[in-house]
Amino acid sequence: MNDRLPVLVGVGQVRGNRGRIVGEAREPLALICEALDLAAADAGAPALLAAADAIYTVRVASWAYDELSREVATAVDASPAHRVDSPIGGQWPIRLLDEAAARIASGESTVALLVGGEATASASALRKTAVDPVRDLGWSARPGGPSPIDAADLGSPAMQAAGLMLPTRVYPLYENRLQADLGLTPAENADWSARLYADLSAVAATNPIAWNTTARSADDVGTVTPENRMVCEPYPLSMNALPFVDQAAAVIVTSLGAARAAGVRPERIVHVHAAAGVDDLADVVARPKLGRSTALADALTTALSRASAPAMDFVDVYTCFPIVAKLAGLALGLPREAVLSITGGHSSFGGPLNSYSLHALARAVERLRGGDRFGLVHANGGFLTKQHAVVLGSAPASEYVTGPVQVRDGALPVVYADQLTDGPMLIETVTVEHGRTGTPTQAFAIVSTADGARAAVCTPPGDEAAASAWSLDGCLTHVGRPAVLRDGVLRPA
C-alpha cells in the first residue's frame, strides 16, 4: 500500500466557558492547544505534535495573532518547514486539508497539524464587564484584540454601497429567489427551513461539543416571537448562525507510513480520498443565477466523482443559513427531508466563524471509525462564494485525487444604484431587514435593468413604509416584479 496516502489519525475538540464566566475565559490559542493535546491522545501518538513539518491555522476572528502558526509551533515544540495562516473564510478548514493532503501525497510533508478556534463568547463577556484580557487575564498581546476585517471581505463596492456587506442580508436574497424558482409559497418554504433546522438541532443534541444541546421542534424554530425575532426575511433568529461561542478543534494529518511508524492503530486511521474547490464570482450582484450556486454544486459533484466511491453514509454541509443546505441537497439530488449534517449546524452546534468545518471533520472521523465507510464534508466561505468539499473513507483509496481550485466566470454588467435612471427594472430578489422590535426597517434588492445590467439597491434605513412594501407578508413573491426608483427610493411599479 502507498505509504504516501494522506490519512487523519487524531482529532480533538473543545467547548469552553459555556456559562460566559469571566474567571473561566481563555483565549483562542489556549483552546487550540487543548484541542491539539486531545488530538494527540486520540491518535495514541503524542510525539506526532512535535514531529509536525507543516502547521495550518484557520483565521481566528475573536482575537488577533501576528502568526498563529508560529505560536502553535512553539506550544507543541515543533519546527515546521511549512506554515500557513489562512485569511477569513469558512472554506478554509477543508481547503487547507486539501493542501495538506496533496503535499503529503507528493512526499513534501509527512505530519501536518490543522487547527482553529474562537473565544467570541468569552471576549464578549469580558467587554461587558470592562475586564482587559491582556492586562487582567494574560491573553496574547501580539497584537491582541479582535482581528481586523479587510474591506474586501465585506463584498464588492457595489454590494457595500447598497448595504449588502452582512451575511444576514445576502443569504436571504438567495433563499427568496429559490422559493420563487421552485414555485413554493412563503409558508411552504418557511416550513422546509424550520424542519431542516429542527433536524439539525436534534443532531447537535447528541454532540457533546455543541453550544446548544436542546432539540427543538419545527414549530419552535419557525415561529416568530420576541425571543425568536425576524432578522432578515425569511429567517428568524433561530435560522441564523450563532457566532458567540468558545470552541476549538484540531486535526492531525499524516502519511500512512508516518501513521504506522508512530504506532497509530489501524482502526484509528481515516483516509482522505479526494477533494475539490470551486469559487464563484466575488460580486454577488454580477452572478447570473441567484437561486442556485453552480460553484457549490460543482465542488460537491467533482469531489464525489474524483473519489469514485459508492454512496455516502453521511454528508455534512456548512449550514450557516438554510439556503446552503437546500442548495447542496438539490445539487446532490437528495430529498428535502435529508439531514445534511453530523455536526449540528451553525445555529445549534454553534458557529465558530471560519473554523466550523474543523468540527465537522472531527465528527466525520468519529463516524468512520464507528462503522461508516464513506462521508462527504463541505465548507462554504464568503457570500456563497468559495466552496470546498472532501471525501473521507474508512478504507484506503489507490491514490489521493485533487486539482486546482476552479473559478466561475460569466459576470453580468453591474451599475451602482445612483447610476440608475427612472426607467423600468425588474426585481431579481429582495429581502427585508427587521429591527429588534419586529418592525421592517430596510429592504435590500438586486434588480435588472432593461439593457441587462444588474444593480444592488436598498431603501433608506429606518423607512418602515418603504421597507414594508417589499415584505413577503401577504405576498407570494416579489421576484420578477416591475420596480421603479421614485425620489431615489425603490418602489413597486
330 grid coordinates? 438539490
State the number of CA atoms in the 13 A half-sphere of 345 facing the CB.
31
Strands 235-236 and 425-434: unpaired
Residues 367 and 456 in one domain: no
Which bin fits 382, alpha (ψ -120 to 50), beta or left (φ > 0)?
A: left
Kindly report whether the global pTM for this prediction surpasses the value 0.95.
yes
Cα–Cα distance for residue pair 441/427, rounded to 1 Å: 19
- Provide the number of structural domains found in the chain: 2
**Residue written as grid cell 475538540:** 13
What's the confidence (pLDDT) of residue 455?
97
User: Is residue 162 included in any domain, yes or no?
Assistant: no
3-state DSSP of 178-223: HHHHHCCCHHHHHHHHHHHHHHHHHHHCCCCCCCCCCCCCHHHHHC
| Residues 62-119: tens digit of each pLDDT | 999 999 999 999 999 999 999 999 999 999 999 999 999 999 999 999 999 999 999 9
Cα–Cα distance for residue pair 350/234, rounded to 1 Å: 20
What's the confidence (pLDDT) of residue 310?
85
Q: Which of 389, 407, 425 is the last residue of a domain?
A: 407
User: Is residue 228 included in any domain, yes or no?
Assistant: no
User: Who contacts 187 (Cβ-Cβ below 8 Å, separation ≥6)?
Assistant: none
Asked whether the beta carbons of 90 and 380 are under 8 A apart, the reply is yes
CA nearest neighbour of 254 among 138, 400, 360: 400
User: Is residue 177 included in any domain, yes or no?
Assistant: no
148 grid coordinates? 481586523
| Residues 464-476: tens digit of each pLDDT | 999 999 999 889 9
What's the confidence (pLDDT) of residue 424?
82
Residues 299 and 401 in one domain: yes
Share of the chain above pLDDT 70, in %: 100
User: Who contacts 284 (Cβ-Cβ below 8 Å, separation ≥6)?
Assistant: 155, 156, 159, 164, 170, 173, 290, 383, 384, 385, 446, 456
| Residues 454-466: tens digit of each pLDDT | 999 999 999 999 9
What's the confidence (pLDDT) of residue 418?
86
What's the confidence (pLDDT) of residue 486?
86
Q: What is the CATH number of the domain that holds 461?
A: 2.40.50.840
Residues 394 and 251 in one domain: yes
| Residues 178-201: tens digit of each pLDDT | 999 999 999 999 999 999 999 999
| Residues 320-346: tens digit of each pLDDT | 999 999 999 999 999 999 999 999 999
Which bin fits 350, alpha (ψ -120 to 50), beta or left (φ > 0)?
A: left
18 grid coordinates? 459555556
Q: What is the CATH number of the domain that holds 16?
A: 3.40.47.10
| Residues 376-415: tens digit of each pLDDT | 999 999 999 999 999 999 999 999 999 999 999 999 999 9
Comparison of pLDDT for 473 and 14, the residue scoring more? 14
Backbone angles phi, psi at 378, to 5 degrees: -120, 145
Helix (H, G, I), strand (E, B) or coil at 489: strand
Cα–Cα distance for residue pair 287/203, rounded to 1 Å: 33
User: Is residue 229 included in any domain, yes or no?
Assistant: no
Q: Which of 407, 429, 457 is the last residue of a domain?
A: 407
Side chain identity, residue 487 = D
Mean pLDDT of the chain: 96
Asked whether the beta carbons of 184 and 476 are under 8 A apart, the reply is no
Q: Which of 407, 438, 462 is the last residue of a domain?
A: 407
What's the confidence (pLDDT) of residue 422?
72
Residues 325 and 438 in one domain: no
What's the confidence (pLDDT) of residue 1?
61
Average pLDDT over residues 256-272: 98
Q: What is each CA distance from 455 to 327, 374, 463, in whole angstroms?
A: 24, 43, 20
Give residue 389's domain range.
6-141+243-407
Longest dimension (CA), the chain: 73
Residues 402 and 321 in one domain: yes
Q: What is each CA distance from 250 to 7, 186, 360, 361, 369, in whole angstroms?
A: 14, 40, 11, 9, 17
Residues 423 and 400 in one domain: no
Among 100-109, 148-157, 213-222, 428-437, the minimum mean pLDDT is found in 148-157
Residues 262 and 371 in one domain: yes
458 forms beta bridges with 444
Residues 445 and 304 in one domain: no
User: Is residue 149 included in any domain, yes or no?
Assistant: no
Q: 395-419 as b/e, with b when 16 or more CB fall inside 10 Å?
A: ebbeebbbeebeebeeeeebbebee
